[in-house]
Structure 1
Amino acid sequence: MQVTSVEAFRVELPLVHEFETSSHRKSSIEHILVRIADADGVVGWGEIASPSDPFYSSETVDTCWLILRRHLAPALLVHTWEEPGDASRAWARIRGHNFAKAGVDMACWDLATRASGVSLASALDGERTSAVAGVSLGIEPTVDDLLTEVSKYVDEGYRRVKLKIAPAWDEEPSRAVRAAFPDLMLQVDANGAYRYDDADHLRSLLALDAYGLLLVEQPFAPGALAAHARLQARLQTPVCLDESIDDLDQLDSAIELGAGKILNIKTSRMGGLTVARRAHDAATAAGWQVWSGGMHEFGIGRAANVALASLPGFSLPGDLSGSDKYYARDIVDPPIRAHDGEVPVPYDRPGLGHEVDEEFVRSLASETFVLTAN
């Protein structure tokens, strides 16, 4: 297969509710959408779901735009491949920049599966007909505000809630939500805000064992695998790694060290569907549980995450809520929706299973570029 054109769009959508983590608060999301086409006019779409600021990772929308235009798109245009998993060989020499790579890899999978008339989930060897959806809730001004948000999504049928935590915002919200919803699947995510050598931080993390959590996600900095291993040895609640694992070598090290028991597999963080599927296989073979995380994706990236979550090892609810939780209007049709806490996997439609509203995307784009094969 040969890609003959690569087009990119910088698109920003307002959030229906502001979202705060341990590092910052945001009211809108800007992502890069990637449109590729082959000589027959078949089109595939991908989404570069990097943050705008370098708080979650060193990548930003600006760095991804540069890497896509200067390196990834030109490399793809001169590369031929048979299977979508082989497309990534085009950028094998480029180190890092996983968010940028993920959008291109996703577009290649969408293009290939549309050309062959099969669903993305089928091509990935998915089995599940639906993915159990959870919601991720940010830090709120008060505990009462948080309880209002939790109640809203529980009433909508969501079975799992993830709370963002930070030092001094951890035990109290966990205790309050558990008391109000004793049977709710509940987990917390620190985004690396704690330090093992801080006695108060460690005490707060160990105290979380009291609240029956599914997991404690990424308590320490990404590179602190040894610290995660020491915490896991003392914590009954499973430690889940997110930012710490963006390639298979890091996953191998984490497994060897016992740095956790659960892996949050984000297509964007791992560099695309190709690597994310391999991470699923490696983690489950080692006895780790896995689930599908998210980066506030628009419909393109969200559809890819749903397809990935159809793989058999995804036994825990993912951050796969309907797009209406975040955006009043999404960029795909049909929109992605959760029903009774589950998002259906569209095996009956080719590719991502959702059509991109291209006119809407073009109207929103603040910047675009097109590169074509010579």
Structure 2
Amino acid sequence: MTNEYEQCMTENARLQLLLDQETQEKEQAQQDLKNKSNFVAFLSHEIRNPANGIVAMSQLLGETELTEEQQSYLEIIQASNDSLMELINGILDISRLEAGKMTVTTNPFDLINTIEDLIYMLAPQAFEKEVEIILDIESEIPLFVVGDSLKLRQIFLNLIQNSIKFTHTGQIVFELKRVPSLQNDRINVCFAVRDTGIGMSEDQVSKIFDVYAQVHEASEHNYGGTGLGLAITKNLIELLDGKIEVLSEKGKGTSVEINLSFERYTDIPSIPFEDDVLTDMRFLLLEQHPLSRHVIASMLEGWGAIVECAEEATEALTHRTRQGEFDVVLADLKTVDEDEEFYTLSEIKGVNVFLLARLGEKVEDEKRSRFRSIITKPIRKLHLLNAILAMDKNVQE
């Protein structure tokens, strides 16, 4: 019995020794990681100082008189500067996250306006590729929430830029929906970025959050990038106690969903109008893009409007508009660009025609004057509603 007891004590001592060794090794590994992150952060910061000088001097040089050959060299330098600063900033963010030095700040901010402003900044890059950008935002989101707006902006800057980079046809849709919360003082929101880009295989999806991973290296397109953006994005989401899910199919596109929780600030709605504000108003929507057509029609119907959709302005629709069957016509510029018959509608009293034009799309003054208003795409929900409500009272009735 004594021997068994002694053996048991010896085994316990051995296990305790192993546990202590493992604890020490873990603490040492954590310290090594912290030291490495601190060193990388320090080094990146020191590199950024002379890099900023190069950027500033390059900009000043661009303002001097240069030959065509010198200008081409300068453009290469400036492109290299941009790539270098992107890499440095990415390394700084990663090292700060790994060292636990990235902090969260909380302030009241307008969630919808923050997202819409960001998308407006990036939309022209997509439109240049003939890729549609569509906003699909629920009205249930309150006007203000409390959270870290700068980190939220950085998260979606990375995701939307990625979608634009890897999407060459079709559309990119940004969805924003409120989801139920068990806590009365919290606002839970689901963000989604869905594109019809080149997509990824399951193996590629499993690697996209790895630091320096570039899953589309072997491609006919030179996508570039540092491979840090998505790693930083995932870390920022986790820092905000959020969750991210990525679904993708090669050749068919990618869907990224992010769930984040914000502190409640106010119950004032982001759309300060009743759901039936457009009840019985009749709309004709002329829009070639099917998903954009569906989203715009859903907005109008959500306010009680009656909506008829078409891909083009046919003679029959033009005739019905002349006869007063529609209170408002919403027409996409690309749908009616060369349709002179359609443009004469604006000269008829009582016909309210709004032009939908992509951000940055040029509308000549003569053409612009024919419409009651120009509504910019991607369409902001409140902008669309305000433009309609700004019509004469007799038109609303």
Structure of higher CA gyration radius? 2
Q: Scaled by the length of structure 2, what TM-score is found? A: 0.30
Q: Scaled by the length of structure 1, what TM-score is found? A: 0.32
Q: Higher relative contact order at CA 8 Å, sep ≥6: structure 1 or structure 2?
A: 1
Q: Write 1 or 2 for the structure with the bigger share of helix.
A: 2
